[in-house]
Amino acid sequence: MILDKHVAAITQIRTVLSVPLSSLQYAVSWPIELVDKIHDTISTHDSLVQENLDLKAEQLTLRAQVQRLLAIESENDQLKALVHSSAQLQSKVLIAQLLAVSADPFLKQVILNKGSHDNVFVGQPVLDANGVMGQVTQVEPLTSRILLINDVHSGLSVQVVRNGVRAIAVGDAYSGQLRLLNVPQTADIRNGDILITSGLGEHFPEGYPVGQVTTVTKDPGLQFATIIVHPAAHLDRSRGVLLVWPANRAKL
């Protein structure tokens, strides 16, 4: 230190020696810096991978929430339609929800969350916001079983709005539609005709929408016409339904 302060040559020597020393310091520090860079790169990669996984999980959760919101919105729309329909009906009504659907593709039945505790009775008409769905066939204290109008064992008396022609509509197990039974070839029924309940049956009051004629086939070799009807009710979609009390039972 004394020489470095008083002898100028020492400064020049130190300057000359600093070049190889700097190279040596760089050579010593380079592996450490390389390890630090690799560590930072690995850490950054792991962080990005984890962040990507978190974002994917969050995206999946948000999508599920959006789907749930869409389902709630659809359910609210159905309930609004039911309330609107019930306001138009002059009979006593009760809103019910579907609990279960028959797993048998040839058995068109559903279970509702209303039963004898709500005064539900066998044979009671069931509607959705668009038309006739079916009737109650079995009642438990808290639930009831509904036979849909497109079941092969179902049948209801209908009439054409346009001209009043009457017929019996039954379910078709294969198509999920309705068929009109024993309609003569000469009957005035056309594609597009609207059918409503005639009120002549034992269970369905007059004037409830049943469906629309989609196919009329008149084969000269057959005695009766083949007439297919698309149900007005959303039999495979509606979750909310209306239990209807006919006028003669509304006070029970």
Express each pLDDT in 84-125 by its tens digit: 555 555 567 888 889 998 877 778 899 999 999 999 999 999
Lowest mean pLDDT among 194-198, 229-233, 248-252: 248-252
Split at pLDDT 50, 70, 90, the class of 71 is very low
Q: Are 108 and 150 in contact (CB under 8 A)?
A: yes
Torsion over CA: 233, 234, 236, 238 (sign): negative
| Phi, psi of 17, deg, nearest 5 | -70, -20
Query: The whole model's pTM is what?
Result: 0.65
Q: Residue type for 79, please?
A: L
Cβ–Cβ contacts within 10 Å for residue 90, how many? 9
